[in-house]
Structure 1
Amino acid sequence: MRLFPLLARAIIALGVLVASLGLLRWHPPLLALGLATVVAGGAAGWAWTRARLTALRGWLHSREGAVALPGENAWDTLESELRYYFKQRDRRLRETRRRLGQLEGLAQELPVGVALLDPHGRLVEANRKAYELLAVEPDRGHGQRLQGWLREPGLQHLFAAEGPSLRQGTAPFHPDPSRTLAFTVTRKEDGTFLLVVEEITERLRLHRMREDFVANVSHELKSPLTSLRGFAETLLGDGDLDPEQRDRFLGIMHEQIDRMQALVADLLTLSRLEGQPAPVPPTPVDLDQLLASLADQFAPRAAERGIRLDLPAPGSEAGLQWYGEANALGQALGNLIDNALKYTPEGGRVEVRTEARPGEVAVHVRDSGIGIDPQHLPRLTERFYRVDKGRSRAVGGTGLGLSIVKHILHHHGGRLEVDSTPGEGSVFSAILPDRPPGGEGPGPSSERPASV
């Protein structure tokens, strides 16, 4: 940095030259003139520098937060202010780095992928989720062009140079095509792209379930309503209808009304369960009493169909408890027994047994019915899912019973397990903890032999 202005430096240089000539020739007047010129140039430069420092000192004093004292000279003022400035700058840099670290940490923990791409579609920066969903290695991702994704038909428009600044598209996840990703791209003014990518597989599945639910409810209600309408029109339009035939038509109409009532009741139960907060109050439910009431309820129906229904003898399960709402748990077990009776042929057997496990109690409902193919097992608890639609409607099922069981057990902190072999029958197991949520102390002895 030059301390003196150009003119002062030129005068000093001229004085040095003149003084040097006077000294070489030993010409005292010339030497004196040169020295006088150097002194004059130095004085002019110093005066200019002092004026600038004085002006700087005045400006520093006028600044908010100035730290120089009035008694200090210009150099002291400049030094103190520079120290203050660099100290403040270092503090701001530390604060900025801290905030950037926080923002980077937040970006890394986002459940969606966020990435910055250059105008050619090359990766500049990305969080962990983006690397995962884009199937790019983090250590080699910087500068990598997203070739595979850019070739996707549904994504080619996302990185176009022209068009709207906000673009959206979907594509299957490359390593697993059964998963679906949604892409949102914002084109910035400098030509770079901000990419947000998230997995929407579950969202699409729920959307399809809602569509299927509406379609299934419409179909389930349409059939009995069409039947009722047809029989009602026949009864109204034919006054001379044979009494026996009239009674048969009225009986069919009554059956269809019962079918619709059962469907509506199950829909209301599902709606209540899905809107119910979990978990439920941990009220003790005596399994011995619960199973005894179910025996009274289903024994006549089993006898009517010629099916042997075996439940634990009264008092044999004393001490076994579940925790929750007795009516809801009774409905869950009742649905399992009802299903077993429906799909067990005449002369078959339905057996209900309990099992004390470490930390939980299971109730198994075993039937000797037609069994279920393995590919159907994962979807059994879906609403309106039927393995054999024709047979399900023939036996009066709504397709909601197992879904209700699953929801009831889930709200009680339990689960439903299914084991089935085609042609050999099925075992449906309702399993719940043997103590209330957060409860302490040992449950029933885990040494109790399992009945199933």
Structure 2
Amino acid sequence: MGWLLPRLLAALLAMLVGGVVGMLIGSFWHWPALGTLLGALAGGLLHTFVDAWRGRRLMHWLRGQQENPAPRDAGFWGEVGYRIERLVRLLERRVETEHTRLDQFLSAIEASPNGVMLLDANDQIEWCNSVAADHFGLDPQRDRRQRVTNLVRAPVFVAYLQDEEFDEAVSFPGPGSRGTISVLIRTYGEGMKLVLSQDITERERNDAMRRDFVANVSHEIRTPLTVLSGFIETMGNLPLTEVERRRVLELMSQQTLRMQTLVGDLLTLAQLEGSPRPAADRWVPVQRLFNQVHADAEALSAGRHAISFSGAEAVQIAGAEAELLSAIANLVNNAVRYTPSSGRVDVAWTMRGDGAGELEVRDSGIGIAREHLPRLTERFYRVDGSRSRDTGGTGLGLSIVKHVAQRHGGELEVRSEPGKGSSFKLIFPAARVRRGESAADAGRSAERVNAA
């Protein structure tokens, strides 16, 4: 009530001054009492008018945008204006702070790898980040305040939203069948909903590959085990001649070797996927790799093919020797297996103009149809399953080659046409290839040193 007394005193002072002035004027006309009354009334009215005018100025400022300072009047209205302006500025700062926090929060959600969409109680879109917009085929700005079921018409999503049973996520094809989207809804506030979406296309693909891998491994191992079991039962129940017994043992040995090869390839793949990349400071002579692979290829061919190795003199690769040997051996052995007798297998090393190295394995074999080329490096993928098993292949060789190439910073290129043979190229980056001293040069250097 501290503001009331000054205002009353100011009104009384205005009336008193008005009464004195009215009395002086009334005395001149010989009506002092009437003059005093009218003067006091005029003083009170003037004070009321000034006070109302100040109040009106403050009200006009309040009805506006409050961009300019409040009216700087003295007395009651000046104090009220000052205090209101201070509260307005404080509220503006708080609102600005909250807006900044909201923008930071929305920016953080925008950076999320998952989709986030906010729905009001009527399932209208309040906000969504760009990931959610991509998942649902929306426009983050244009589609605001639109009912989500008018824009996202996937029956699974619509039923999930309407049933209001959000214990588990649901999955459905994304717009344009570009993949599979998983959606989980959580409620908050008064009927509002938080829609979380995630692209699970890659996860489903990996799960399918894992299931196929397990099924293929089981099938590949079960087949020789079934054969071995049958032979063991035959040897135990039937009297066999020495020739028959040797034949059965030979077939059992082949199936055992097949399983050993399969398990070995699986272990190699597991090692490649679970170990760090080979160091770039361990240099392996390419010629040494060629010599080992050449001997194995000649043994596998048994003189049925013309096999040549060239271009590897004085060249070295930085990496793991065992992995490189496995990759080259797989390519050469495949070429020998799928090339008919009297065919050719040529293995050549070439230095590219940019310093990279290219190892090519070319054969004159049966070739591969174009539609099979993109899938050749998939595990257990076979162009001709029966032929692969007949030649001793496990379906993992090219997958191993691809992993080895990637671990050494390289790539695998395949070109083939049915009836015209195939070409497999391992391309290694320049950082992992260098020219070294050939064996002949090393021998001559040693002779010069001894002579000196």
Fold match (TM-score > 0.5)? yes
Alignment counterpart, residue 129 of structure 1, candidates 119, 131, 136: 131
Q: Which runs of 5+ in 1 are unaligned?
A: 43-73, 437-441, 445-452
Query: Which residue identity is paired with 1:137?
Result: D
Q: Deviations over 1:152-196 (max 9, x none)?
A: 222122322x53345522121222x15111122223342222112
Tell me if structure 1 keeps the 8 A contact 2:281–2:319: yes
Q: 3-state DSSP class of the match of 2:293?
A: helix
Cα distance in 2 for partners of 1:21, 1:413 equals: 106
* C-alpha distance 4-319 of structure 1, shift in aligned 2 (>3 A): farther
Q: CA deviation at 1:111?
A: 1.6
Q: Specify the alignment match of 1:50 in structure 2.
A: none
Deviation sequence 1:290-324 (CA, Å, 0-9, x none): 212221221232234x1111211xxx433322210
Deviations along 1:338-380, one digit per CA (max 9) or x if unpaired, are: 1111111112111111222214111011111121122211111
* CA distance in structure 1 between the aligned counterparts of 2:428 and 2:142, rounded to whole angstroms: 48
Counting only pairs closer than 5 Å after superposition, residues 221-232 of structure 1 correspond to structure 2 as 221-232=221-232
Tell me the C-alpha RMSD between the 2 structures: 3.9
Q: Who is 1:339 aligned against?
A: 334
* Corresponding residue for residue 418 of structure 1: 414
Q: Look up the match of 2:363.
A: 367
Residues in 2 aligned to 1:245 and 1:352: alpha-carbon distance in whole angstroms: 41
Is the counterpart of residue 356 in structure 1 residue 358 in structure 2? no
With over 3 angstroms needed to count, the CA separation of the structure-2 counterparts of 1:103 and 1:282, relative to structure 1, is farther
SS at structure 2 position matched to 1:105: helix
Equivalent in the alignment of 2:306: 308
Change (3 A) 1:183 1:256: same
Aligned residues of 1:158 and 1:167 also touching (Cα < 8 A): no
**Equivalent residue, structure 2, for 1:245:** 244
The answer to whether the 8 A contact 1:332-1:408 is kept is yes
Alpha carbons 2:377, 2:399 under 8 Å: kept: yes
1:450 is matched with: none
- Which secondary structure does the structure 2 equivalent of 1:435 belong to? helix
Which residue of 1 is the match for residue 372 of structure 2?
376
Deviation at 1:212, TM superposition (A): 0.5
Question: For 1:312-331, what aligned pairs fall within 5 Å after superposition?
Answer: 312=310, 316-331=311-326
**Structure 1 segment 87-126 matched on structure 2, within 5 A:** 95-126=97-128
CA contact (8 A) 1:149 1:155 kept: no
Tell me if structure 1 keeps the 8 A contact 2:312–2:348.
no
Deviation, structure 1 residue 258? 0.5
* Cα deviation code 1:262-315 (max 9, x no counterpart): 1111111111111012354431122122212221221232234x1111211xxx
Counterpart contact for 2:278–2:320, Cα < 8 Å: no
1:184 has 2:184 as partner? yes
Answer whether contact 1:279 1:413 (CA < 8 A) is retained.
no
Alpha carbons 2:127, 2:140 under 8 Å: kept: no
Once residues 180 and 148 of structure 1 are traced to their aligned partners in structure 2, the CA distance between those partners, rounded to angstroms, is: 20
Taking the aligned partners of 2:99 and 2:128, their CA distance within structure 1 comes to: 18
1:156 maps to: 158
Task: Note if 1:174 corresponds to 2:169.
Answer: no
Tell me which residue corresponds to 1:205. 205
- State the alpha-carbon separation in 2 of the partners of residues 334 and 268 from structure 1: 16
SS at match of 1:114: strand
Q: TM-score, normalised by structure 1?
A: 0.76
For residues 279 and 243 of structure 1, the distance between their equivalents in structure 2, rounded to whole angstroms, comes to 51
Q: Is the 8 A contact 2:369 2:416 kept in 1?
A: yes
Cα separation, 1, equivalents of 2:348 and 2:151: 55
The alignment's TM-score, normalised by the length of structure 2, stands at: 0.76
What SS does the corresponding residue of 1:311 show, helix, strand or coil? strand
1:439 counterpart residue number:
none
- Give me the identity figure in percent: 36
Instruction: Measure, in 2, the Cα distance between the counterparts of 1:147 and 1:88.
Output: 42
Counterpart amino acid of 1:432? F
Indicate how the Cα distance of structure 1 residues 359 and 83 shifts in structure 2: closer, same or farther if over 3 A, else same: farther
Measured after TM superposition, the shift of residue 213 of structure 1 is 0.8
The range that moved more, 341-350 or 331-340, is 341-350
Any idea what SS the aligned residue of 2:142 has?
A: helix
> Aligned pair in 2 of structure 1 residues 33, 225: CA closer, same or farther (>3 Å)?
same
Q: 1: distance between equivalents of 2:198 and 2:305? A: 53
What is the correspondence of 1:258-297 to structure 2 with a 5 Å cutoff?
258-297=257-296
Change (3 A) 1:119 1:78: closer
AA paired with 2:192?
T
User: Mean alpha-carbon deviation: is it higher for 221-230 or for 141-150?
Assistant: 141-150
- Contact 1:361–1:434 (CA under 8 A) maintained in structure 2: yes
Q: 2:372 is aligned with what amino acid?
A: H
Whether the 8 Å contact between 2:414 and 2:425 is mirrored in structure 1 is: yes
How many angstroms does 1:423 deviate by? Answer: 1.8
Q: Where does structure 2 lack aligned partners over 5 or more consecutive residues?
A: 48-75, 436-452
Q: Report the residue type matching 1:140 in the other structure.
A: R
Paired residues of 1:322 and 1:434 also in contact (CA < 8 A): no
